[in-house]
Amino acid sequence: MNYILIFLGAAIVNNFILSYFLGICPFLGVSTDLKKASGMGFAVIFVMVLASAATWGIYHKILMPYNLQYLQNVAFILVIASLVQFVEMFLKKFIPPLHKGLGIYLPLITTNCAILGLTLFMVIKDYDFIESIFYAVGAGSGFLMALLIMAGIRVRLDSADIPVPFRGAGIALITAGCLALIFMGFSGMMK
């Protein structure tokens, strides 16, 4: 039950995009059509799980025993970036179909704030390993959901008579703000 709550909390109540405003750049950049949005969303879930698993080990098995917690930001950034690059090369060589689906999005999110934010939240909330994985899957799913909603709306906006100054990123940011207002309805759902 605890795991389900962590998952739903990260996916809906504390959605990374709509309530923490993390990862806005891919949210605006790849939400122009549904296909790109879903590719990006699944890539984010994949990287989040990978990153949280790796950084959990680094934090609890290396940094903690030697009292090096102040190095966490540097260590996390370095580990996540190199790990994702390595995985990308691995996928390209050994699982080409998967690389074709996720590959082009992987380099885009290696240094994304949502990924680093996830690992830092994981440390603050003091999750154990399994909880961290559920947290990562939840956060990634919430990211995918927000991207899909946004992509659906933006496809409709293509044919709307939007005032010229607001076209493109302007209306996308206004829409993101409206979505954040709406997701406020879920606040208070988990203590």
- The residues that touch another protein, with contacts defined as CB under 8 A, are 34, 148-149, 152-153, 155-157, 160-163, 166, 171, 174-175, 178-179, 181-182, 184-189
Output the DSSP codes for 67-132.
Answer: T-GGGHHHHHHHHHHHHHHHHHHHHHHH-HHHHHHHGGGHHHHTT-HHHHHHHHHHHHTT--HHHH
State the minimum distance, in angstroms, from the CB of residue 36 to another protein: 15
Closest to another protein by CB, 93 vs 191, is: 191
Closest to another protein by CB, 54 vs 171, is: 171
Which 3 state secondary structure label does DSSP give 65?
coil
Closest to another protein by CB, 12 vs 123, is: 12
| Cβ atoms < 10 Å from Cβ of 6 | 23
The residue count of the chain comes to 191
State the minimum distance, in angstroms, from the CB of residue 100 to another protein: 19
State the minimum distance, in angstroms, from the CB of residue 48 to another protein: 22
